[in-house]
């Protein structure tokens, strides 16, 4: 089953690198988001500074304490810059997670296209396990998401974000990105096999993607959200992906879970994320496989 899944994945990857425009747009979109959103809000959120000179590992709480102190605005400003990170550095991990999520969605898009152009029948008539088709799409989406995620990290540095941990941080982030893509692409292939055309697919997927994105820590730290939204964020798998990538890239608990998990430190926080994302993968893949098998009976 793995061999067949790999052959199918190779086909998808060939599609991707032969569509040059798709490569450009799939990288340009998140980078434009990062640049515009990152700089637009660079001074507007409490706890963020304009520069990247903040000291690594200082918890967000300290920032809030400084904000609350009745100091001279100039001193406050200097202190803030020393104890916090710029919004664009904070946001870059959120944008990496977003890129990974959007790429994972393409697993489902390609199922819809294959169905539309009859290629799915060609796969179905060959003597391969049904689930190898799903697995192939998931593998290709994961490879794509990894490549794009890493390129976005590099581009983010070029437009002014800082990865405090350097290449090691990037390496730590990768397994989390893989877990998240597997779970999400499993879900998107299941949605794809159920729906008739790509218009329906994008409708349903946007209904899932946008709320997930805004109700996660990708744009705003979770502890700045109102209580009910925090509750939503804590059951949102993207929150955990963002948190892991953020901890890996920043090397500190600036993350959306910074408040709650500050006490257990980076390592503990990463463990929580790993557990949450593993549960997400198991749940999504088993639901996905069931739907997939049923649809292709």
Partner 1 sequence: MPIVETNNLTKVYGGKFTAVDHISFQVEEGEIFGFLGPNGAGKTTTVHMLCTLTEITEGEAKVAGIDVRKQPDEVRKKIGLVPQDISVDDELTARENMELHGKLYHMPKSLINKRIPELLEVVELTEWENALVKTFSGGMRRRLEIAEGLMHRPDILFLDEPTLGLDPTSRASIWEYMRSLNKEGITIFMTTHYMDEADKLCDRIAIIDYGKIVGIGTPEELKGMLGGDIITVNANDREAFLNHIKNLDFVTEILPQEDGIRITVNRGETAIPKLFREANKIGVDIESISLNRPTLDDVFIKFTGRSLREEKTDRIELFKRMMLMKRRRK
Contact residues: partner 1, CB under 8 A: 3-4, 7, 10-11, 14-15, 18-19, 117-119, 121-128, 297
Contacts of 46 (CB under 8 A, 6+ apart): 63, 64, 67, 224
Closer to partner 1 by CB, 19 or 210: give it: 19
Chain Cα centroid distance, residue 90: 13
Closer to partner 1 by CB, 125 or 158: give it: 125
Query: Reduced to 3 states, what is the DSSP secondary structure of residue 86?
Result: strand
Closer to partner 1 by CB, 58 or 123: give it: 123
Chain Cα centroid distance, residue 18: 25
DSSP 263: G
| Closest distance of CB 1 from partner 1, Å | 12
| Closest distance of CB 3 from partner 1, Å | 8
| Closest distance of CB 231 from partner 1, Å | 41
The sign of the torsion formed by the CA atoms of 45, 61, 89, 238 equals negative
Closer to partner 1 by CB, 128 or 151: give it: 128
| Closest distance of CB 297 from partner 1, Å | 6
Closer to partner 1 by CB, 8 or 155: give it: 8
Other beta carbons less than 10 A from residue 53's beta carbon: 12
| Closest distance of CB 23 from partner 1, Å | 13
| Nearest alpha carbon to residue 278 among 150, 155, 183 | 183
The answer to whether 217 and 121 have CB atoms below 8 angstroms apart is: no
| Nearest alpha carbon to residue 212 among 178, 171, 184, 177 | 184
| Closest distance of CB 112 from partner 1, Å | 14
Closer to partner 1 by CB, 123 or 204: give it: 123
The answer to whether 177 and 47 have CB atoms below 8 angstroms apart is: no
Closer to partner 1 by CB, 15 or 76: give it: 15
State how far the Cα of 285 lies from the Cα of 265, in Å rounded to an integer.
30
| Nearest alpha carbon to residue 142 among 98, 95, 105 | 105
Contacts of 54 (CB under 8 A, 6+ apart): 81, 82, 83, 84, 85, 86
| Closest distance of CB 14 from partner 1, Å | 6
């Amino acid at each position: 089953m793995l061999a067949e899944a790999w052959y199918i994945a190779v086909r998808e990857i060939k599609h991707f690198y032969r569509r040059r425009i798709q490569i450009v747009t799939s990288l340009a979109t998140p980078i434009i988001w990062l640049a515009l959103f990152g700089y637009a809000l660079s001074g507007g959120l409490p706890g963020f500074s304009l520069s990247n000179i903040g000291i690594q590992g200082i918890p967000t709480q300290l920032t809030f304490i400084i904000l609350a102190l009745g100091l001279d605005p100039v001193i406050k400003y200097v202190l803030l810059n020393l104890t916090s990170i710029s919004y664009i550095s904070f946001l870059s991990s959120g944008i990496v997670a977003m890129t990974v999520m959007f790429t994972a969605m393409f697993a489902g898009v390609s199922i819809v296209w294959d169905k539309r152009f009859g290629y799915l029948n060609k796969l179905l008539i060959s003597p391969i396990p049904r689930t190898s088709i799903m697995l192939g799409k998931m593998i290709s989406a994961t490879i794509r998401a990894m490549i794009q995620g890493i390129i976005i990290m590099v581009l983010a540095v070029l437009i002014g974000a800082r990865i405090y941990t350097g290449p090691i941080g990037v390496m730590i982030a990768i397994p989390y990105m893989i877990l998240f893509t597997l779970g999400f692409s499993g879900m998107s292939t299941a949605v794809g096999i159920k729906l008739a055309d790509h218009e329906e697919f994008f409708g349903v997927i946007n209904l899932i993607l946008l709320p997930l994105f805004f109700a996660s820590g990708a744009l705003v730290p979770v502890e700045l959200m109102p209580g009910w939204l925090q509750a939503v964020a804590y059951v949102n798998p993207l929150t955990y992906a963002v948190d892991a990538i953020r901890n890996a890239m920043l090397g500190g608990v600036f993350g959306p879970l910074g408040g709650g998990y500050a006490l257990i430190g980076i390592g503990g926080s990463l463990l929580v994320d790993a557990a949450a994302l593993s549960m997400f993968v198991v749940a999504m893949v088993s639901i996905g496989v069931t739907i997939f098998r049923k649809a292709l009976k």
